[in-house]
Structure 1
Amino acid sequence: MKLPDGPRIPNWLHTIQLIVRPFEFFDKLAQQYGDAFTIGDRNNSPTVYLSHPQAIKEIFSAAPNLFESRQITEVETVVGKYSLVVTDGEFHQRQRRLLIPPFHGERMRTYGQLIRDITQQVMAKWTIGEAFSVRLAMQEITLRVMLQAVFGLHQGLRYEQLRELLCSFLDTISSTLKASLLFIPALRWDLGPWSPWGKFVRLQKQIDQLLYSEIQERRQSMDYERTDILTLLLMARDEDGQPMTDVELRDQLMTLLFAGHDTTASTLTSALHSIHYHPQVKSKLESEIDTIGIDTDPNLASKLPYLNAVCQETLRLYPVIAHTNPRHLKAPLEIMGYQFDPGTTLIVLSYLTHQREDLYPQPRQFKPERFLERQFAPYEYLPFGGGHRGCIGMAFAQFEMKLVLATILSGWQLALVEQRPIKLVRHTTTYAPPSSLEMVVTAQRQSQKVLSTV
Structure 2
Amino acid sequence: MDNSQAGQAARCPVDHGGAGATGTVIPATALPGSKKHAVIQLFNYWTRPQRYIEECRKEYGPRFQVSIRLPPRAVYVLTTPEDVKAMFTAPADVLHTGNGSATIEKYTGQSGLAWLDEDAHKKRRKAMMPSYHGAALERISTAIPQMAERDVAAWPRNRPVPLHSYIHGFTMHVIREVIYGPQVPKRWDELHALLLEMMRFNNGPVSPMLLHKMPPRLFKVLRAIRPLGLDRFLKLRDQADALIHETIEEHRASGYRGDDLLSTLLGVTHADGSPLTDSEIRDEMTTIFLAGTETTAAAIAWSFVYLARHEEVTERLREEIARGEDTYLTAVINEVLRLRPSIPQIIVREVKKPIEIGGVRYEPGQHLWASAFLLNRDPNLYEEPDAFRPERFLDVKPGVYSWIPFGGGRIRCLGDRIALLEMKAVIREVLTQCELHVSDPEPQRARSRIVVNVPADFARVELRRRVPSLVGEGRG
Both structures adopt the same fold (TM-score exceeding 0.5) = yes
SS at match of 1:172: helix
Q: Deviations over 1:11-45 (max 9, x none)?
A: 3333333322222221111111211013469xx97
Deviations for 1:433-454, whole angstroms, at most 9, x for unmatched residues?
123612221424488669999x
* Matched residue, 1:428: 450
Residue identity in the other structure for 1:37:
F
Change (3 A) 1:203 1:339: same
Q: 1:156 to 1:135 in 2, by over 3 A?
A: same
Q: For 2:362, which of 333, 340, 344 is the aligned residue?
A: 340
Q: What is the CA–CA distance in structure 1 between the aligned matches of 2:38 and 2:156, rounded to whole Å?
A: 49
**Deviation string for 1:181-235 (max 9, x for gaps)?**
55794653244988722211111111111111111221232213x4533224334
Structure 1 123/338 Cα, relative in aligned 2: closer, same or farther at 3 Å? closer
Q: Against the structure 1 CA distance between its residues 242 and 101, is the aligned structure 2 distance closer, same or farther, given a 3 Å change threshold?
A: farther
* Partner residue of 1:216 out of 249, 257, 260: 249
Q: CA deviation at 1:258?
A: 0.6
What is the distance in 2 between the residues matched to 1:319 and 1:131?
A: 25
Structure 2 partner of 1:416: 438
Alignment check: 8 A CA contact 1:411 1:446 kept? no
In structure 2, distance between residues paired with 1:256 and 1:446: 41
Q: Which residue of 2 aligns with 1:443?
A: 466
Distance across 2 between alignment mates of 1:318 and 1:185: 31
Preserved contact between residue 181 and residue 197 of structure 1 (Cα < 8 Å): no
The residue aligned with 2:276 is 244
Q: Which residue of 2 aligns with 1:63?
A: 91
Unaligned segments of structure 1, at least 5 residues: 293-300
| 2:229 counterpart (196, 210, 220) | 196
**Is the CA contact (8 Å cut-off) linking 2:343 and 2:452 kept in structure 1?**
yes
Q: Aligned partner of 2:368: which letter?
A: L
* Aligned pair partner of 1:2 in 23, 27, 35: 27
Residue identity (%): 25
- CA offset at residue 351 of structure 1? 1.0
CA 1:106–1:369 in 2, change beyond 3 Å: closer, same or farther?
A: farther
Q: After superposition, where does 1:32-431 map in structure 2 within 5 Å?
A: 32-39=59-66, 46-69=74-97, 70-126=99-155, 129-152=158-181, 158-175=187-204, 177-179=205-207, 185=214, 188-189=219-220, 190-191=223-224, 196-224=229-257, 226-236=258-268, 243-292=275-324, 304-372=326-394, 374-431=396-453
Distance 1:191 1:12 in 2: 20
Secondary structure of the structure 2 residue equivalent to 1:255: helix
Find the aligned partners of 1:359 and 1:344 in 2 and give their Cα distance: 28
Larger deviation: 235-244 or 131-140? 235-244
How far apart, CA to CA, are the structure 2 residues paired with 1:407 and 1:185? 44
CA 1:403–1:244: 2 relative to 1, 3 Å: farther
CA RMSD of aligned residues (A): 3.0
Relative distance call for 1:391 and 1:250 in structure 2 (3 A) is: same
Q: Provide the residue aligned with 1:298 in structure 2.
A: none
- Please tell me whether the aligned partners of residues 49 and 349 of structure 1 are also in contact (alpha carbons under 8 angstroms): yes
Deviation at 1:370, TM superposition (A): 1.0
Q: Aligned partner of 1:431: which letter?
A: N
Letter in 2 for 1:59: M
- Give the Cα separation in 2 of the matches to 1:451 and 1:173: 38
Structure 1 position 93, deviation (Å)? 1.7
Q: 1:289 to 1:115 in 2, by over 3 A?
A: same
* Distance in 2 of aligned mates of 1:418 and 1:195: 30
Normalised by the size of structure 2, how large is the TM-score? 0.84
Q: Cα gap change, 1:250/1:156 in structure 2, threshold over 3 Å: closer, same or farther?
A: closer
User: 2:404 and 2:421 mapped to 1: Cα distance?
Assistant: 17
- 1:51·1:352 contact (CA, 8 Å) conserved in 2? yes
Q: CA deviation at 1:381?
A: 0.6
Relative to 1, partners in 2 of residues 1:223 and 1:446: Cα closer, same or farther, differing over 3 Å?
A: farther
Q: Distance in 1 between matches of 2:160 and 2:75?
A: 45
Equivalent pairs counted in the alignment come to 439
What is the rounded CA distance, in whole Å, between the counterparts of 1:192 and 1:324 in structure 2? 31
1:134 and 1:32 map into 2 onto residues whose CA distance is: 35
Q: Is residue 16 from structure 1 mapped to residue 38 from structure 2 by the alignment?
A: no
Q: Show CA shifts across 1:166-192 (max 9, x none).
A: 1210112323x3535557946532449
Which deviates the most, 190-199 or 154-163? 190-199
Give yes or no for contact 2:172–2:192 (8 Å, CA) kept in 1: yes
Q: What are the superposed Cα offsets for residues 339-373 of structure 1, whole Å, 9 maximum, x if unpaired?
A: 22222221111111011011111111111111125
